Amino acid sequence: MKTYDSIRKTVCKAIPAMLLGFALIFSSGQVASAQILNDITRRAKNAAETRIKMGADRAVHKAMDKAEDAAKKGVKNAADNASSKKSKSSSSNVPEGRSGVAKAGNGSTWYVSGTGSNKNDGRSPETPYKNVQKALDEAADGDVICVAAGNYTGTLDQGFIDITKYVSLVGGYNEDFSERDPYVYKTYIQTNPSHVSKNGSKAAINIEVSGSRAKTVMVDGFSVDMGEQSLYCAADPTDPVSGTPEGCLTGRKLMVGESPSTAKVGGAAQERRAIHGHVEGHLVIRNCVIANATFYGIQIMNKGGNWEIYNNVFVANCYASCQIDSMTKDANECFVDFHHNTVLFSWCRTKVMEDMGYGYRFMSRVDSDVHDNIFGCSNLGAIDFAHHDSDKAVDAKRKLNIVDNQFFMNVADMIIPSQSYMWLYVRCEEFEDVEGINESGNVELTDENFVTKINQPYLKGFANLEKVESSSYNPNSAANQVRRAFGVNQQGSEIVRVTMFANKYPFEEAYNLFGALEGCGAQIL
């Protein structure tokens, strides 16, 4: 039997600077169990003694004795951050407040409420539609759709909505539309097992809009939770097959085609996105929670335009929390301002944990400003900068700014190509040595108030994550004797067990992460 004490043992990028900060947190008694600190310390020591499993045979970066020096760098004061932005093309784009409606144009306003009716005209707070899709179908370019708190699962409860026009979908209103607070009046799509046979491969929110790079499509304060529809092992900390940390809602996520001999909960093992599409123009996604997606939180193809993805919370999404692809021919046609997001627990593709698992992933021909985000507990890399254009002249024009982000407990803070076929695992203090980016102010997160806002059983389970691989082979089994006689390959079996993998995160608790760290990550304004 081969045991890996933690998948995070593959690299120890964020641990040294983080340890002292966590020690302060746990000694203060603000976290329920000081055992988490012991788990983090144990994992850090293991990482310092091991070799990287998924790359070339090279030693893990730095020794543990750098912890104190790294911690002294601290976390920048929010005021200093605000005054020192040098590389942002959109430094004035702070998260918008709660009051008023952020209009994409000068069009009409539509209203939707769970207590409304599609027989209404949808034109006033007193006569709202019942279904979001009804408003989307009736609206024209430039219109705004205001949505009251509740769960909206699409026409005939199919579990998805389609946006095909340059409109603004704005959630977070109370029942009579007299007040907007997206953190209190939660507006969302939360699918359940009944939707498994209804939505096919559709994402919860599908955005297919093109025709103008001057127009805007917006999703504001409209969240997605895929945790009720996905299939998990039932929570059973006593069953090693289930992968259940003590106190978590469920056991580990089940993959397509997998059926372990343990109790199960949820709908089906599906690969389904929270938000997907192809967009030309100005796309804005803000004030949203994207949780428990099994196949990307956000995955959208940019057909040309300046985008803003900001003030969102991403938690417990597989493959990548946010991935942006380019569909343009030339350089500098696709730009994404990714800022003030909190991105936690971005899980790998499978429980084997050998690929994917990114926070923010941008492909070739995508320019980005990545600033004032929190990236934590990425199962592989917080930022994926590994994909470059085959046309070197086009790739050389690429613009990438990475400024004032905070990182903790990621396998790597950034993934970049190496000279071999594998990737290089880079921590934030090494960003200055990465070619092709402008960077400054990126630090390891040590703030105690932020850590207390994370669901503690989930964090403890991640800190104590282990993977166990075992294999068996019997050359004298009846099957292998027959196979040998016919010159066929021999058979054996291999078992991979993990103590945690993409377990369901409590959707309501994800909202606690707004405003958890002043000036960085998702804010409440």
Residue 286: CATH number of its domain:
2.160.20
Calculate Rg over the CA atoms of the chain: 23
| Residue 6 pLDDT greater than 50, yes or no | no
Residue range 326-372, pLDDT digits in tens = 988 888 899 999 999 999 999 999 988 888 999 999 888 899 999 99
Closest Cα partner for 265 from 238, 289, 243, 295?
A: 243
| Residue 480 pLDDT greater than 70, yes or no | no
Is residue 182 included in any domain, yes or no? yes
Q: How confident is the model at residue 20 (pLDDT cuts 50, 70, 90)?
A: very low
Question: At which residue do the structure tokens 């343009």 appear?
Answer: 328
Three-state secondary structure call for residue 442: coil
Is residue 171 included in any domain, yes or no? yes
Rounded percentage of the chain residues whose pLDDT exceeds 70: 75
Is residue 8 included in any domain, yes or no? no
pTM: 0.80
* Stretch 86-102: mean pLDDT: 42
Residue range 286-313, pLDDT digits in tens = 999 999 999 999 999 999 999 999 999 9
Residue 145 to residue 220: CA distance in whole angstroms: 10
| Residue 411 pLDDT greater than 70, yes or no | yes
Phi, psi of 388 (to 5 degrees): -125, 155
Cβ contact 339:310 at 8 Å:
yes
Is residue 325 included in any domain, yes or no? yes
Domain that holds residue 374: 78-451+501-513
Token couple for 331: 């350089």
Q: How confident is the model at residue 283 (pLDDT cuts 50, 70, 90)?
A: very high
Q: How confident is the model at residue 92 (pLDDT cuts 50, 70, 90)?
A: very low
Is residue 58 included in any domain, yes or no? no
Structural domain tally of the chain? 1
Is residue 369 included in any domain, yes or no? yes
Residue 325 to residue 329: CA distance in whole angstroms: 12
Q: What is the DSSP letter of 66?
A: G
Torsion of CA 292, 293, 298, 301, to 10 degrees: 170
Question: At which residue do the structure tokens 């200055």 appear?
Answer: 432
Task: State residue 428's pLDDT score.
Answer: 95
Task: State residue 257's pLDDT score.
Answer: 86
Task: State residue 511's pLDDT score.
Answer: 97
Residue range 437-460, pLDDT digits in tens = 999 999 999 998 899 999 999 999
Is residue 473 included in any domain, yes or no? no
Residue 376 to residue 21: CA distance in whole angstroms: 14
Residue 221 to residue 231: CA distance in whole angstroms: 27
Cβ contact 375:407 at 8 Å:
yes
Is residue 281 included in any domain, yes or no? yes
**Helices 35-49 and 456-463, axial angle in degrees (round to 10):** 20
